[in-house]
Structure 1
Amino acid sequence: MRSGRARDATQVVPAGAAVVTGLVNFVVAVVLGGGPPAPNLPGLPALPSLPTTSPPSLPAT
């Protein structure tokens, strides 16, 4: 995005190639692996677990 807004053609091609490469890698991982690749986000806290209880039922009207 920055390279496009900066109107610097020398930066647009490598940025576009990186986006396309990342997209192709993701699609290949999904097709061959059966799902999206596991995230690699070191330093971030773990996500909280989802509640395991079912929500209260609504009263009959």
Structure 2
Amino acid sequence: MPTPDPAPSPKSPTGGGALFVLALFAGIVIGFLLGQTTIGFLAGAAIGIAINLWLLWRDRQ
């Protein structure tokens, strides 16, 4: 006898990959315009990680 499917979760998780890439790309472009591409890359990565951690925290509540 087949078992019933579990009930779907009320919220689907939010993906943050595109936001991370967008923050990374924005950091590279701004860093390039200011002559500090590496710092822009690192700042964009930090902002992207912060956004993804916020999304993870929000989804867990």
TM-score tier, shorter chain, comes to 0.3 to 0.5
TM-score by length of 2: 0.44
TM-score by length of 1: 0.44
Q: Over alpha carbons, which structure has the higher Rg?
A: 1
